[in-house]
Amino acid sequence: MQEHDRQAKAGKTMSKEDVIKIFEAHRNQWDKIQTLGSLIWEDFPWPMFKRPKGPDDLTSPGITAYMLSSIHPQDRATKERIKDNIRRWHPDRFNSQLLPKVKENERDRVAEGSGTVARILNDLLRMHSQDTF
């Protein structure tokens, strides 16, 4: 079990360093995913601080907290970071590039999870765009 999962399960608040490690691990995992032959649910860096066990664990509050974290690397504006993640998780791209690499017995739940993430990110972008005008 990864350290951030252990802390989250124990109900501990994550430190700034823990959050930075999660962001770095997720960035590295996106690079690694491109080179893996077959994928399973656990291979995906789901945009949450607590690793989801399945699609039902992907929640709007969890994804919003992750995306809007003040500890996120400041190399991109929040709106651009949301857009980058929408492109990454969008069903057209995800289903053609990554879903075929997912093991057959995992494919439905990964597809459901990626669709959930894409919907939540689109809602977040809409809300964020309204707030900035």
Tens-digit pLDDT profile for residues 23-76: 999 999 999 998 999 999 999 999 999 999 999 999 999 999 999 998 877 777
What is the predicted pLDDT for the residue at 131?
64
Whether residue 129 is predicted with pLDDT greater than 70 in this model: the reply is yes
Residue 41: DSSP 8-state: G
Element (DSSP H or E) covering residue 44: none
What is the predicted pLDDT for the residue at 77?
86
Q: Identify the band that residue 132 occupies on the pLDDT scale cut at 50, 70 and 90.
A: low
Q: What is the pTM of this model?
A: 0.85
Per residue in 84-99, pLDDT (tens digit) is 999 999 999 999 999 9
Coil, helix or strand at residue 39: strand
Q: Could you state, in order of their start, the residue ranges of all structural domains in the chain? A: 3-131
Look up residue 1 and give its amino acid. M
